[in-house]
Amino acid sequence: MKLGVLKETKSKENRVALSPNVVKSLISKGHSICVENGAGQGSSYSDEAYINAGATISSSSDIYKTSEVLLRINAPSDSEISELKEGIIWISILLHKSNPELMEKLAAKKVTAISMDAIPRISRAQSMDVLSSQANLAGYKAVILGANEMGKMFPLMMTAAGTITPAKVLIYGIGVAGLQAIATAKRLGAVVEATDVRPETKEQAESLGAKFIQVEGASVQSEGGYAKEASEEYLAKQKEAVNKSLFNADLVITTALVPGRKAPVLITEEQVKQMKMGSVIVDMAAEQGGNCEATEMDNIVTKHGVKLVGISNLPGTLANVASELYAKNMATFLDHLTTAEGFKWEMEEEITKATVITKDGAVLNS
């Protein structure tokens, strides 16, 4: 198949859909690949590296005209949809549940849109799971960002001048990002506590050395690997259980997201007022509205003596390795969806059914 790799147009996006290493692998399987000039620059991949891997370099307009499949990290804009030819296949993170109007526009153009973020969280799809590979990096970077913004260090240290006590870190959400944040903070020497609406995550948190904060008498079930949206009653109980740790924490990292909905508010501005002066909150849900009421997206601000870090797209700040992992996810996904002759279109197969969002002018998943 003729695969086209487009340069990202979203602000502050440095990742690219395929790395030179994965391009070489896909070409060895019979695909031809054209990469937009400069597409890999933000990820430290030169055009020459893609040429050496066997790809050709071209303009976006040529790629739109000649490709059978277009690959990217992010969804197309309205102006880009107007350039898509009828019947072309587009594969990227589409966040289709949050963007129903965009899906209708793709369907109207008879684009077959396949969403990488819709891959179900089942064991045989783990190697394709973009959300997990990118969240893993984001959890690591959240701790590094927090450490950089704090006015103290993480580990216990014995010095001639006295003992430095370890930092206290509190993590909301024990998914992929939260687990990596726990592991990273522990490796740096912090005392870590963690909480999640799903009681089954307790063992995972404790296996990495974190103390799990249990919300007594309440729980939220998970669905497809994600927590369902918690009730107001549950959130109130969680707030009560976590407040002592929150007010004593040096660094707080929030990771809670609900697919297709605004991020739940876990920390109110009133709670921020009661936190230690000089403490830091890294809000990983900033792009979806934030888990903290006081967060400002893509800003680092200080309110009530607390520093709030609302940097969005944390994987994009680790563009080189994030692109490599995304590309490997993409290659495995393509192997699953295709044969040497092209796409299999096994529409009742679980992964295919979940990820093909628009096809033949219709929206199949909403």
Could you read off the pLDDT of 48-67 as tens digits, one per residue? 999 999 999 999 999 999 99
CATH number for the domain including 302? Answer: 3.40.50.720
**Amino acid 341: pLDDT:** 81
Identify whether 50 is a catalytic site residue: no
| pTM for the full predicted model | 0.92
Is the pLDDT score of 224 beyond 60? no
The domain of 159 spans 150-312
| Domain tally, the chain | 2
Based on the residue annotation, tell me whether 226 is a catalytic residue of this protein: yes
- 219 and 324 co-located in one domain: no
The CA-atom distances, in angstroms, between 195 and each of 57, 256, 265 are 48, 11, 14
pLDDT at 185 over 80: yes
**Helix, coil or strand: residue 44:** coil
Q: Tell me the C-alpha distance between 244 and 137, whole Å.
A: 29
Residue 143 lies in a domain: no
Residues 104 and 252 in one domain: no
Q: Which of 121, 127, 219, 234 is catalytic?
A: 121
- Going by the DSSP 8-state scheme, the letter that residue 261 receives in this structure is S
Active-site hit among 25, 43, 67, 132 = 132
For residue 200, what are the contacts with CB-CB under 8 A and spacing of at least 6?
Answer: 222
Statement to judge: residues 189 and 289 lie in one domain: yes
Residue 139 domain flag = no
Do 294 and 323 fall within a single domain? no
Report the pLDDT value the prediction gives residue 259, as an integer from 0 to 100: 79
> pLDDT higher for 24 or 234?
24
**300 and 337 belong to one structural domain:** no
pLDDT of residue 218 exceeding 70: no
Structure tokens at 265: 């508010």
Q: Is residue 137 part of a domain?
A: no
Final residue of a structural domain among 312, 331, 346: 312
Q: State the pLDDT at residue 217.
A: 62
Do 166 and 302 share a domain, yes or no? Answer: yes
121 falls within a domain: yes
> Is 126 in the active site?
yes
Residues 228 and 268 in one domain: yes
Q: Which of 61, 82, 126, 207 does the annotation list as catalytic?
A: 126
> What is the model's pLDDT at position 214?
85
Query: Cα separation of 353 and 355, whole Å?
Result: 6
CA 205 to chain centre: 20
Please indicate whether residue 129 is annotated as part of the active site.
Answer: yes
- Mean pLDDT (the chain, rounded): 94
Answer whether residue 297 is part of any domain: yes
Domain edge (last residue) among 275, 292, 312: 312
Burial zone of 205 (CB within 10 Å; 0-12 exposed, 13-18 middle, 19+ buried)? buried
Q: Do residue 74 and residue 207 come from a single domain?
A: no
Closest by CA position to 147, among listed 210, 192, 194, 179: 192
Kindly report the backbone phi and psi dihedral angles of residue 72, in degrees, each rounded to the nearest multiple of 5, phi listed first: -155, 175
Instruction: Clarify whether residues 43 and 102 are in a common domain.
Output: yes
